[in-house]
Structure 1
Amino acid sequence: MKIGELSRRTGVATRLLRYYEQQDLLHPDRLPNGYRDYPESSVQRVQQIRDLLQAGLSTDVIREIVPCFLGAGAELRPMVDPELAANLARELGEIERRIETLTRNRDAIRDYLAVASQTVPGHRKTPAA
């Protein structure tokens, strides 16, 4: 299929599909006229890439792991690979550290807002909506 059809079927802009190709995530064939020719499996591959990007993985990590997965979306299933598992464990640890930091920051801001929105004697503050 041509890039326009892949774009329509996946909801991903052609420019982004070209970027995925530049990042070595998609591998279309080239027709004699220079057009990209994507195999049917590219639809599922684009869905995998989108899912993994939404999970917070970089294109470098995705390039390494996407060939090791089958399916997409709720049907995404890994193939067993000890090196892949170690890399994913590192990525998971980093994501969890970022979540912990964001949670601490959120809680600190929430505490500050709770104190700042209390009525001060002689002044009346209205809590932020």
Structure 2
Amino acid sequence: MRIGELSRRTGVPARMLRYYEEQGLLEPERAGNGYRLYGGAAVYRVQQIRGLLDSGLTTEIIRRILPFLDAGDIHLRPQCLTPELAELLQAEADRITARIDCLARNRDALLRYLSTVRG
């Protein structure tokens, strides 16, 4: 399928799909006329990318773990976990934990405010 069809099927603008390609997240084939061609699996791959981006992961981390994704789960073989990748993933997990803590504090403050106002 061409980029417009992939965009339609995933709801991701073609411009964003080109960005994913620039970041090494998607690798389309090229037709003789230079048009991008995507296989059916690209729909699932774009959905994976969107989910990972929505969860707060950076494109750098996604690019590093994307080859190990299978059916939405991360299957990273131990021999592929370099010290550099382990450090990157730990830093990301720490960042997400800090974000969750901040969101929880904000939620609690809002709920206290609502309780007081409704009181």
Residue in 2 aligned with 1:93? 94
Matching of residue 82 in structure 1 with residue 88 in structure 2: no
Separation of aligned partners in 1, 2:110 and 2:74: 38
Residue in 2 aligned with 1:106? 107
Rate the CA distance shift 1:40–1:113 in 2: closer, same or farther, 3 A: closer
Separation of aligned partners in 2, 1:96 and 1:107: 16
Rg bigger for which structure? 1
- Structure (1/2) with the larger helix percentage: 2
1:95 Cα deviation after fit: 0.6
Higher RCO by CA contacts (8 Å cutoff, separation 6 or greater): 2
Structure 1 residue ranges, 4+ long, deviating more than 6 angstroms after superposition? none
Partner-residue secondary structure (3-state), 1:63? helix
Paired AA for residue 69 in structure 1: L
Separation of aligned partners in 1, 2:3 and 2:90: 34
C-alpha offsets along residues 54-77 of structure 1, whole Å, 9 cap, x if unaligned?
A: 2111112111111121223xxx34
Partner-residue secondary structure (3-state), 1:12? coil
Separation of aligned partners in 2, 1:109 and 1:44: 37
Question: What value does the CA root-mean-square deviation take over the aligned residues?
Answer: 2.3
Sequence identity of aligned pairs in percent? 50
Separation of aligned partners in 1, 2:45 and 2:68: 11
Rate the CA distance shift 1:33–1:59 in 2: closer, same or farther, 3 A: same
List alignment gaps of at least 5 residues for structure 1. 118-126
1:98 Cα deviation after fit: 1.0
1:113 Cα deviation after fit: 5.1
Residue in 2 aligned with 1:120? none
Separation of aligned partners in 2, 1:44 and 1:86: 28
- TM-score normalised by length of structure 2: 0.77
Rate the CA distance shift 1:112–1:71 in 2: closer, same or farther, 3 A: closer
Q: Does the 8 Å CA contact 2:4/2:14 hold for their aligned counterparts?
A: yes
- TM-score normalised by length of structure 1: 0.72
Residue in 1 aligned with 2:19? 19
Residue in 2 aligned with 1:124? none
